[in-house]
Structure 1
């Protein structure tokens, strides 16, 4: 589950750092002098324009910031604040510790420390969220002031991320296969899974989306075959999730495929299109308006690249509904 990172940036030093490495992102070429080739290749995938918004924190007195930084993971959202309001946010892509790189980027503070606990950001957005609005959203006292680097608890983070729609659909928290299976296996009936998702169960979708898109910014619809930004694609169950057995939900490599929000997801879910022997076809059991038929004809007879012997039974179930 994604968390909120509180990053007050009201000091002259912090605002300079924001201008130097967030507002004007660091070129990958400059990072390549300090980081291994494997890390640079990953960054090139995440930042095709070659510009990397970069932030870091010092160890702090008695290393107070180190365990906080240790909690940060991909998909967490950093909130930059100053002068009584949150002025920007960014989503965590990757983190690493590197004293030499930090020294090059930011030098040293007055205590002789550098901002060596580094994390890279994307999806930088500008905001104007007054502290009192933040406080009331997460349940803090009205007079609370964001002071010092901190990572909020998951339940408080969820309130903030949901209310202000700050979650990324590209960079997702790491959920292990074991965690995914544990969540699925906790529930014997299907209604409980949906109820659980509105409360604490939020690992299924991040896990499935990460399996399909692997933090890439562009993906391919499994029905029409067109490429879109991944925030316009969903992780769609071929067989309705509510009708799947526990074993079928655990068969995530075959039961879920990407579908675009431009029509394929709805057309498939509502049964206006079916996949038969690998071909996308209109469903003869359905009635079509002229405009709907025009839409379906555009994708009819396309080859579905996700149809194979492992997915066939799920497509056949869908066809028979």
Structure 2
């Protein structure tokens, strides 16, 4: 897959495309049906399968929705789409100016002249153009004039996308990563750089890597302790992660800290991706450091048991 930043960089393409348009946040099982249809249609017609998406999210620009939380960072979305076999991903900057394009300008200048679109696969409820005043019937009419086909994604599949997205977000807010991962069809991930912390975990016998997320819009699951895995130094490593405030040591700022079981290398300033597998418990304030240490030992034992049962990796207790 080739990722292209901005529609203008696609203008010189000599091939024709099959296109779908959307944010595809999460790239979950509902999205995958649409994307697989796009890819199969493109292959059958000798076209290049192309997703047109936008960043920032339109709501961030038009509604100043600073509280919006997304399932994927842009980097994560690119990574997931690449694994699906898509030909092109076009990430176009969403601005107020872009939102003011008329429906005619969008279809003629963007879809036809720039993307050389011959087929568009789009939801029955898709709206576009200035003030979102055009719908799929308008798009079909444009297609008849400008020589491209429109395939409508039926209501059942669009509803499935909406339901899946809602269930995933709700599950993550409740800490139910197993349900979220089922709808995603991959483990929910947090991607960030490892920053120096206070080093308290090391003093307790459980050194932690402090994960700093650059993207404030990324949805962080409910506070608590999770079983996780990452790829570190080109090998799979498991661990347990705490999301929260560390109340036992009077923490005041929310942090994401990972204790890897079989890795003792230096991760400072490295960018890593952590996949969430299970949630063990809520975050608690313990009466003493000793009580916290005992609980961490139990957490590790629980984590190792869950890892062994999952078949990911046989680990001895």
Question: One fold, TM greater than 0.5?
Answer: no
TM-score (norm 2): 0.28
For normalisation by structure 1, the TM-score amounts to: 0.28
